[in-house]
Amino acid sequence: MTDIILEGGRALIGTEFVETSLLVSGTDIARIDASRGRARLAIDARNLLVLPGIVDLHGDAFERQMMPRAGVDFPIDVALADSDRQAISNGITTVFHATTCSWEPGLRSADNARSLMEAIERQRPQFAADTRLHLRHETYNLDAEAEISQWLSEGRVDLFAFNDHMDGVVADISNPRKRNRMVERTGLSSEDFDRLVGRVIARAADVPASVSRLAAVARAAEVQMLSHDDATPAMRTDYRAMGATIAEFPINEETARAAASHGDAIVYGAPNVVRGGSHTGWTKASDMIEKGLCSVLASDYYYPAQLLAAFRLAADDVLPLAQAWHLVSAGPARATGLTDRGILAEGRRADILLIDDSVKLRPRLIAVISGGKLVHLTDATRLLTAVAAPHEAVVAA
């Protein structure tokens, strides 16, 4: 791999921005306050921010590449390749594809989850971002328990979340717009969808025991667990007791405080910050952040959101940029057990972003280094020396 020197940027070192130069060698940051030496590629980082790459522990925007319109499917390999380019071009160097494994047929079915997992495993060497699987298990999908247990035991799942959207499904059935969207996603007729929901609900009594068994398998496999949309402190307590120490989108402040009091990681959606509130009308993420009740911001359904959210928090005086950036880098890295990334330090993985912050609220990504490779460049005038060997290609976008 080509050694890379980043010269003269304002780098986030610890909690401070320091004007310095960074040397990348192999996959890691070799030196801070470095000189060019024999580096074969130098990038002028003057007047740019140098930040650790974004870690996205929950992003499902890839679904739009798979099904851009209801009933319109594209091959999974094409969708994942495009999603990788989108993630990288928005500064996401570690991406957990949040893959739903539901009782529904169609886009979020167990069959589709299996195909996605296999495609990620097959294409992983081709991706610019470090790409991992976040399996979102709909707890009423009882028929998938055995297969999911096998995936967990085989180490094929990187994050495992417990989702229960059944109450929402039942409530939305009476809303024509939401009902049509759900039915179209499954590919069923309206009557068949109703019959399916009835059969699934009839097995509600079996759900708690299934959740408990799956949590035990995940603990044995040392897979990090999350609970999704916790509604009460008691619900958070129950999931924590099973080993789920990440609270994803707790829906009220009381539950978020219960999570924080036990040191749980608390995840909110970055689109919530960018838009100024939740699209569901639930908790406002910036309020939770201001109260110290959020440790991670995820892209959720929109890849540009993490980058934009950090700068929005700083512009709104909710947090200084250094702390806001922690929510999209060091925070999610720590929550997912990735101790080799999330900060700029010698010996850490070289996931690095160069950002032009000259326009308020509109950060412009100039370059992305992922795992020591220059994988995205929007301003070739920043190159100070020729690139290295032809086979070490630079992907410009």
For 308-344, the DSSP string reads: HHHHHHHHTTSS-HHHHHHTTTHHHHHHTT-TT-SS-
Given 308, 335, 362, which residue is the final one in a domain? 335
- Read off the pLDDT band of 391 (50, 70, 90): very low
* CA–CA dist 247, 292 (Å, integer): 14
What 3-state class would DSSP assign to 253? helix
Predicted pLDDT of residue 240: 98
13 and 115 housed in the same domain: no
* CA–CA dist 207, 392 (Å, integer): 50
220 and 183 housed in the same domain: yes
Nearest partner of 307 among 326, 325, 284, 334, judged by Cα: 325
**Considering only 78-87, 197-206, 372-381, which range has the smallest mean pLDDT?**
197-206
What 3-state class would DSSP assign to 148? helix
221 and 284 housed in the same domain: yes
Given 335, 362, 391, which residue is the final one in a domain? 335
Average pLDDT over residues 312-332: 98
Range of the domain at 232: 54-335
**Is 390 within the bounds of a domain?**
no
- What's the structural domain count of the chain? 2
Cβ-proximal residues to 356 (8 Å cutoff; 6+ apart), any chain? 47, 48, 49, 363, 364, 366
Predicted pLDDT of residue 182: 80
Partner residues linked to 1 by β-bridges: none
Cβ-proximal residues to 317 (8 Å cutoff; 6+ apart), any chain? none
Of the two residues 171 and 87, the one the predictor is more confident about is 87
Instruction: Look at residue 387 and tell me whether its pLDDT is greater than 60.
Output: no
**Is 266 within the bounds of a domain?**
yes
Predicted pLDDT of residue 234: 97
Predicted pLDDT of residue 176: 81
8 close to 22: Cβ distance less than 8 angstroms: no
Partner residues linked to 74 by β-bridges: none
**Considering only 133-147, 188-202, 244-258, 351-365, which range has the smallest mean pLDDT?**
188-202
Predicted pLDDT of residue 177: 81
* CA–CA dist 140, 103 (Å, integer): 7
Predicted pLDDT of residue 363: 98
* CA–CA dist 376, 89 (Å, integer): 7
Cβ-proximal residues to 249 (8 Å cutoff; 6+ apart), any chain? 228, 229, 230, 267, 268, 269, 282, 283
326 and 216 housed in the same domain: yes
What average pLDDT is seen over the chain?
93
> Angle formed by the axes of helices 110-123 and 145-153, to 10°?
20
* CA–CA dist 252, 191 (Å, integer): 35
Average pLDDT over residues 296-319: 97
146 and 273 housed in the same domain: yes
Predicted pLDDT of residue 385: 63
244 and 345 housed in the same domain: no
197 and 307 housed in the same domain: yes
To the nearest 5 percent, what fractions of the chain are helix, strand and coil?
A: 40, 25, 35
Which residue type is seen at 307? L
269 and 308 housed in the same domain: yes
106 close to 113: Cβ distance less than 8 angstroms: no
Predicted pLDDT of residue 392: 45
* CA–CA dist 257, 251 (Å, integer): 11
Predicted pLDDT of residue 1: 79
Partner residues linked to 68 by β-bridges: none
**Considering only 64-68, 122-126, 248-252, which range has the smallest mean pLDDT?**
64-68
Percent of the chain with pLDDT over 70: 96
75 and 151 housed in the same domain: yes
Percent of the chain with pLDDT over 90: 80
**Considering only 81-95, 120-134, 189-203, which range has the smallest mean pLDDT?**
189-203
**Is 316 within the bounds of a domain?**
yes
* CA–CA dist 177, 149 (Å, integer): 35
Predicted pLDDT of residue 222: 97
Given 335, 356, 391, which residue is the final one in a domain? 335
**Considering only 235-244, 276-285, 287-296, 332-341, which range has the smallest mean pLDDT?**
276-285
- Read off the pLDDT band of 393 (50, 70, 90): very low
120 close to 182: Cβ distance less than 8 angstroms: no
Predicted pLDDT of residue 395: 46
Predicted pLDDT of residue 2: 87
216 and 104 housed in the same domain: yes
Instruction: Look at residue 181 and tell me whether its pLDDT is greater than 90.
Output: no
What CATH code is carried by the domain that includes residue 372?
2.30.40.10
Task: Give the global pTM.
Answer: 0.92
Kindly tell me the sign of the dihedral angle through the C-alpha atoms of 262, 265, 271, 275.
positive
